[in-house]
Structure 1
Amino acid sequence: MKSYKDLDIYNLAFTYAIEVHKVTMKLPKFELYEQGSQVRRSSKSIKDNIAEGYGRRIYKQDFLKFLTYAHSSLLEWLSQLEMIDELYQIPEIKELREKYETLGGEIYSFTQYVEKSWRT
């Protein structure tokens, strides 16, 4: 791996953050800066923590810490999205939730790999 961009979890998180941004723009105007903003920030935080962790990869514990932050942001995102889904029933939300559930598993698996096999 030459870059964080070589990580599948980063690429998925980036792609999904773009999708989230577009979907949240369908929220009512008053929610664009409340719930919508929070969801956009947490989805972008996932990819950013993966990238920052990769930048610290020579320090295995730092890498693990940022992967944990990425997973935590993903859980925050899911929690926020459940609320939006309940309030507004935007059709794309269900598919996004499924994608993020899968991404959460992939981040978890990658974290386990780094914990067991990563060499600094």
Structure 2
Amino acid sequence: MSKFNKFEDLDIWKIGMSIAVDVYLLCDLEPLKSDWGMKDQIRRAACSMSDNIAEGFEYNNNPDFVRYLNYAKGSSGEFRNKLIILNQAGKLDKVVYETLYAKSVEFSSKTKSLIDYLKKFEADKKKK
């Protein structure tokens, strides 16, 4: 894995940002526009994904970064749960739901891969 100098270069951050922007735009439309509680919760979950990537990266050490990657992955699960609720309640367009759901699954998968890589790297470093 190559060394990254800034969080903005990470694919997972880019995916998280894309989700957050999509959700912000979605929340400007009905029915979410008028649903203050859900709008706030889904925005926070969506933003938390990329926020945690950025914050953890800036600590500049792998153990802290891994901790924040886990938080980001957790936020992705929370976000996906909100999507499922909105979808089952008939509050989301099917294409919007499927697109955001797929992005969230991709985010979680890639985040898990990075967590696994960093944990292995740290374990290998301790063996030396």
Structure 1 Cα separation of the partners of residues 120 and 30 of structure 2 = 42
For 1:81-100, what aligned pairs fall within 5 Å after superposition?
81-87=83-89, 88-91=91-94, 92-100=96-104
Code of the aligned partner of 1:30: S
Structure-2 residue corresponding to 1:64 = 66
On the 8 A contact 1:49/1:69 being kept in 2, the answer is: yes
1:73 equivalent in alignment to 2:75:
yes
1:1-120 matches, cutoff 5 A: 1-28=4-31, 29-31=33-35, 33-58=36-61, 60-87=62-89, 88-91=91-94, 92-117=96-121
Deviation of 1:104 after TM superposition, in Å, equals 0.7
Amino acid corresponding to residue 104 of structure 1 in structure 2: S
Structure 1 residue ranges without an equivalent (≥5): none
**1:30 positional shift:** 3.0
Between the aligned residues of both structures, percent identity stands at 26
| Alpha-carbon distance, 1:90 to partner | 1.9
Gap regions ≥5 residues in structure 2: none
- Tell me the TM-score normalized by structure 2: 0.84
Instruction: Determine which structure has more spread, i.e. the larger CA radius of gyration.
Output: 2
Detail structure 1 runs of 4+ shifted over 4 Å in the superposition.
Answer: none
Q: How many residues align?
A: 117
Distance in 1 between the 2:92 and 2:7 partners? 34
| Mapped partners of 2:28, 2:13: distance in 1 | 23
* CA deviations over 1:10-69 (Å, ceiling 9, x no partner): 0111112101111232232431x11111101110000000001101132x2211110000
Cα shift at 1:103: 1.2
